[in-house]
Amino acid sequence: MRAAVGLSGSKEVIPPVAMPSFASVIRLFTAIVLLLPAYARANSPDPAVSLTVELDDSVYAVHQPIMVAITVTGSGEGSIEIPSLRLEDEFIDLSLSEAGRGILARTMTEDPVRASAGRPELVRIAPGKSQVEVLNLLFSYGSFIARGQPLALSFGQYVLVPGTYSLSARLRIPGEKKGLAPNLVNSNSATFRVLPAAAFPEDTLLLYDFVARARFPSYPAFLSPDAARLKAMSRENLSSFFRSRYLMLMYYASDLPNDRLPVETLIQSLRRAGVPELRRAAVFWLECKLARRKGQEKAAWLRAMNAPWLTGRLTSVRDTWLARSAQGQLDPDIGE
């Protein structure tokens, strides 16, 4: 204790000041750090966009490709800048869960401050306009299971085992100023079921018949010495599968593109066959990715796409690839 002289001249005893413990300081510092992202987001404008996840079907055969469209649409009064929707750029997070088992896999980054460290190239979208990413979910979350799945093995296809699943997404839009946490935009949850191939006898019989006629091997066809012939037969028989749930499986097997079938003819044929718009958009997406392999300059090829059949999601696909073309993102790889 210390003594001090008061105004009256008497001595007063001043009790010692208790110093905070090291553990208390650490707890206080941790609490402040945890509050920073919430404070930063509270001081960032709400993003004027909506994020949706859509599937090309609601029920799938076990080896049927699951085509997903992730769409960001401007929903405010003014335009807004968004980052790339490509999964490898890590601004879009996916979460897949199975009924009764919880989350099976996710790409979500749990540290939004760290995720906002750099300012990426952004794409400006106007109100009502969209950017889209189309992918085969099996490439991201499927497993290669040979036992009991002869068709999946022959086509070299990943699968999800039968069950009920839900897929959702989250978009991180970087803060306008350095140090601000990104705005997080959550999507809807899309639910779908995967059933054994036997649940779809007509479609599966058509596929088995083709595999037998084409003499597909019991291992991945693309590894076969006869791969070129198998790909050619898949291209020649593609139209037989326009109304089948295995259209995208055959489309991948054909090792596109089919130079003798212009994309305009292909898409219009799919429309006349009643193929759902999202599945047509998936085909158009892959055709856009592979335009370079057709010997075409992608940007000019896309700008020429103003035909009447180019509506709805297909317009968003074209606009997305035009934006990527402007940024030099002309990746011809279809493995997405």
Cβ atoms of residues 245 and 207 within 8 Å: no
Give CA separation, 187 vs 92, 108, 155, 169, in Å: 11, 13, 32, 5
* 245 C-beta neighbours (distance < 10 Å), count: 22
Is 80 exceeded by the pLDDT of residue 60? yes
Percentage of the chain exceeding pLDDT 90: 28
* 76 C-beta neighbours (distance < 10 Å), count: 14
Segment 79-85 mean pLDDT: 84
Give me the pLDDT at residue 244, please: 95
Give me the pLDDT at residue 222, please: 72
Segment 264-276 mean pLDDT: 90
Higher pLDDT: 293 or 97? It is 97
| Type of residue numbered 261 | L
Between helix 263-272 and helix 277-289 the angle, nearest 10°, is 170
- Asked whether the whole model's pTM tops 0.85, one would answer no
Give me the pLDDT at residue 303, please: 62
Evaluate the CA torsion angle 271, 273, 279, 285 in order and state its sign.
Answer: negative
Enumerate domains of the chain plus CATH numbers: 2-42 (no CATH), 49-197 (2.60.40.2970), 201-326 (no CATH)
Higher pLDDT: 35 or 87? It is 87
Give me the pLDDT at residue 47, please: 63
Lowest mean pLDDT among 17-31, 140-154, 217-231, 317-331: 17-31
Q: Residue 172 and residue 88: Cα distance in Å, rounded?
A: 13
H helices, E strands: number in the chain: 11, 12
pLDDT, tens only, 195-253: 999 999 999 999 999 999 988 887 777 777 888 888 888 888 999 999 999 999 999 88
The mean pLDDT of the chain is 76
Confidence grade of residue 72 (pLDDT, cut at 50, 70, 90): very high
Is 50 exceeded by the pLDDT of residue 38? no
pLDDT, tens only, 146-197: 555 666 677 777 888 899 999 999 998 876 655 556 788 999 999 999 999 9
Is 70 exceeded by the pLDDT of residue 260? no
Confidence grade of residue 255 (pLDDT, cut at 50, 70, 90): confident
Confidence grade of residue 33 (pLDDT, cut at 50, 70, 90): very low
- Would you call 178 helix, strand, or coil by DSSP? coil
Question: DSSP letter string over 150-167?
Answer: HHHHHTT--B--SEEEEE
Give me the pLDDT at residue 194, please: 95
Give me the pLDDT at residue 51, please: 94
pLDDT, tens only, 93-114: 889 998 877 676 665 444 444 4
Q: Residue 269 and residue 309: Cα distance in Å, rounded?
A: 10
Q: Residue 301 and residue 292: Cα distance in Å, rounded?
A: 9
